[in-house]
Chains A and B, each alone.
Chain A
Amino acid sequence: MDDFFFSLVLAGISVGAVYALVALGLNLTFWTTRALNFGQGSLMMLCAMLTVHLAAQGLALLLAVLGALFIIGGLGIFIERFAVRPALKGAGSMGWVVSTLGFGIFLQGVAAKWFGAQAVAFPDILFSAQDYVSVFGQYVSLQYLVVLLVAVALILLLELFVRKTVWGQAVHAVSLDPELAGVQGIPVRRIILGSFIASSLLAGVAGLLIAQIGGTVDPAFGFDLVLLGFVAAVFGGMGSSVGALVGGLVVGLTSKLVGGYISTAAEHAIAFALLMAMLALRPQGLFGRIEVSKA
């Protein structure tokens, strides 16, 4: 096999796995509130930045990661309370698009002010960029493998949770009819809050993984990622976990292959072309269900 092709496929799969994680994070809040948190990108950036910062203060790397994730989870609560809940007051309101995006831009500004606008080096958490394993006679970076494994594992866990546990069913119930769920004693508010925390944590993990591969973080980091994660989510079918994984991989692979063989400038363009093609041919996405409502 051609080395160049193989390395593009690998890079595509690993960035695709990160897109899948972002898409999964978007799905989580979509399940409970039909709202998406477009501030995800800034949460990814902030999580990586905070990890670097905390580690620079002399904290052990694992603790720095946990500390950063803790803060990101807290921001998830903040976003739900102040950017999404007020925007959902009016029925059918789409105000959350602007408020979550705005909060993301705000976080980006804060990070630039605090940590500086320069890119900082991201430490090796699990493996260094020099760790390789050999697959089919080709060298594969362990970092790439870890990203893929983490993404697949999280997606499997979420699917199990939603399908097999009564809490997963309750999440589904809240998405179908929050009023009925509340009347039945399901803690609607806590489930919505939980979905925002989990979604933010997923963004944080995705941020750490991609910073690990890229090796640096800067305040602008994450913005493209959330857009491409959104493309992946819509492509795979909004709300579907398998769709998030497949969508992420398709978007990652096509953009890397197009970037490698045609032009890196076309990387993002092809992703959005995919999105438009999907919206024209199959608006519900690959694995999405058409929303049917019968009175």
Chain B
Amino acid sequence: MLEVEGLSVSYGAVQALTDVSLSAAAGSTTAVLGANGAGKSSLLRAISGIAPIGAGCIRLDGQDVTRLSPQARARHGLAHAMEGRRLFRQMNVEENLRLAWSFGARSTPWAAALEDVYARFPILAQKSRIASGLLSGGQQQMVILSCTTIRSPRVLLLDEPSLGLAPLIVRQIYAFIAGFARDSGATVVIAEQMASIALQVADRGCALRRGRVALTGTATELLRGGLAATYL
């Protein structure tokens, strides 16, 4: 369960978010939509504690985490796949997974967690000793998704998981996300420019425009309402 209330974020003189509220229930998937610069990434970054919060509050499962450090939030069960396919590029696949697994509460022992990842993405087992920066974009995205889900987070934030990937890979990535959302009972929030694909897996959607919430609704409402034409 993730609740955001009256959130404002600014970088110096630039106001990135103004009075944004959002509520996402456990077991649901929410798509955050909007054009470039609408504030999608800022919203996710504020939730995970790496963007400066000017006003408002953020609650995870009812607990106020607004003033907590990113690592404390991670320990509360928050995971965030940041924009720009961030991983430790000089480290190999397994080292990345190991680090993502090591710090914070986790339910699965390391061997089982690793086996799980390799069962889901067999290609990663073959590439386990290769520096993650040398993998293809799709494989990197698989590593990132595995890293963010390896500790079974209660809230998962995904920033543009489809960016720069071939359509076939995008489908595979989204199949994984939908499967995780269904099986884990976690709250999933996806920031995505491609509204149509995000709304296929999402229950609800929320469109941002110039840092404000422009529209919210269920995925079907948004799809029917011709959201793409109006806001993106």
Chain A, residue nearest B75 (CB)? A185
Chain B residues engaging chain A, CB cutoff 8 angstroms:
48-50, 69-71, 74-75, 79-80, 82, 86-91, 95, 98-100, 102-104, 133, 147, 151
- A189 within 8 A of partner (CB): yes
- A183 in contact with B48 given A169-B99, A294-B133 (CB within 8 Å): yes
Chain A, residue nearest B95 (CB)? A169
Chain A residues engaging chain B, CB cutoff 8 angstroms:
166, 169-170, 172-173, 176-177, 179-189, 294
Q: Once the chains bind, are B82 and A170 in contact (CB under 8 Å)?
A: no
> Interface of chain A, helix or strand or loop or mixed?
helix
- Contacting residues, chain A, for B49 (C-beta < 8 A): 182-183
- Contacting residues, chain A, for B100 (C-beta < 8 A): 184
Closest 3 CB pairs of A and B: A185-B74, A185-B104, A185-B103
Instruction: Give A237 Cβ to nearest chain B Cβ, in Å.
Output: 15
Q: Considering the chains assembled together, what is the distance between the CA atoms of A166 and B101 in angstroms?
A: 10
Number of cross-chain contacts by CB at 8 Å: 68
- A183 in contact with B50 given A173-B88, A176-B88 (CB within 8 Å): yes
30 interchain pairs (CB within 8 A)? A166-B98, A169-B102, A172-B88, A172-B91, A173-B91, A176-B88, A176-B89, A176-B90, A177-B86, A179-B70, A180-B82, A182-B49, A182-B50, A182-B70, A183-B48, A183-B50, A183-B74, A183-B79, A184-B74, A184-B100, A184-B103, A184-B104, A185-B71, A185-B103, A185-B104, A185-B151, A186-B71, A187-B103, A189-B69, A294-B133
Interface hub of B49, B71, B133 (most chain A Cβ within 10 A): B71
- Contacting residues, chain B, for A188 (C-beta < 8 A): 71
Q: Considering the chains assembled together, what is the distance between the CA atoms of A173 and B49 in angstroms?
A: 18
Q: Once the chains bind, are A182 and B89 in contact (CB under 8 Å)?
A: no
Q: Considering the chains assembled together, what is the distance between the CA atoms of A190 and B98 in angstroms?
A: 20
Q: Once the chains bind, are B89 and A294 in contact (CB under 8 Å)?
A: yes
Q: Which of A169, A177, A179, A184 contacts B147 (CB 8 A)?
A: A184
Q: Once the chains bind, are A183 and B133 in contact (CB under 8 Å)?
A: no
